[in-house]
Amino acid sequence: MKSNYLFNIPQLLSLFVAQSNDGYAIYDENDMMIYCNHNYAQLLFDCSPIDVQTKTFAQSIRLAHTQNQGIKINCKNVEQWILMAQNKRWQKQYRSFEIDLLDGRWLRMSEQVIGGKFLYAHITEITQNKELENELRKTKDKLFEKAYHDELTGIPNRRAFIERMNKEMNKSLRNDSPLIFFLFDIDHFKVINDKYGHLAGDSVLQSMCSLVLLQLRDYDFVARIGGEEFAIVFTDGSQQNILATIERIRILIEEAYFQYEDEVIQCTASFGGTTLHKEDKLETLMSRADINLYSAKQQGRNRIEFSE
């Protein structure tokens, strides 16, 4: 069945491109723009079509850059950025990528080479999508933080500890490299809670963690694995230096004055440590450290018990 209407397809396409919210442009083989609609010039260069038509892509970028508008250029030298961009243009028959603008908006651009003599460019604004992506990423980061970090102290929790320990133990056994493990807790912590209150006890734990972290290197690992029980993993350094670090931590805790409101609280900590054996699993390693921690408690607390 034939339509009762005769359509002028080129005219309809021209009307569509002119009224579209997206941007369209065509460059010739010299990379000179021979056509763009209003939204292409506005979205990409923050100008009108007459300002960029008959200009090369490089000339349009320079013009926008001098007026501090258009594409965000992350190079100190705009010519360096243009050279990198030109090395990618015309190299593939089709490519798609994202760019951000100086005013905070985001665009998705696609470029298609037609017959080796023309480059067709299409851009559409995706700012809302990027904002949604950022919100989702922040939410994911918060959920990860909550799942793997102790809410009170901010250090890794037991779940993070188990995952990290399994990785470090496998790495140590595979590379035949040393791993030294310590458990420690605050002596008579229940007395602190009973005498000063649980909020005071929480404050002591937070301050004590801050003190410990200052004595450790970036690649040392400390986690809260129970109420007042913590673990430290060392995968680098001599046994002598590591034991010296633990002794320094013990002394600093003993000499510290933890302030909570009007109360000044002092405490001590006991430590039990051991080295990784080839036949060890996480349970046996922790059990050996726990036995040494118990021994430190039995021998008067505020001390270190270590066995190889």
Task: Select from 196, 230, 200 the least CA-distant residue to 213.
Answer: 230
Measure the CA–CA gap between 60 and 78, rounded to whole angstroms.
12
Angle in degrees, CA 208, 247, 151, rounded to 5: 25
- Report the amino acid identity of residue 80: Q
Only one residue has tokens 């005498």, namely 195
Task: Select from 109, 88, 95 the least CA-distant residue to 44.
Answer: 109
Max Cα separation, the chain? Answer: 102
CA-derived radius of gyration, the chain: 32
Among candidate residues 98, 111, 135, 228, the one labeled active-site is 228
- From the centroid of its chain, how far is CA 171? 23
Q: For the purposes of burial, counting CB atoms within 10 Å of the CB of 299, is it exposed (0-12), middle (13-18) or buried (19 or more)?
A: exposed
Residue 125 among the catalytic residues: no
Handedness of CA 68, 71, 73, 77 (dihedral sign): negative
Q: How many CA atoms lie within 13 A of 90 on its CB side?
A: 17
* Helix residue ranges, H only, 120-180: 127-148, 158-175
- By annotation, the residues acting in catalysis are 228
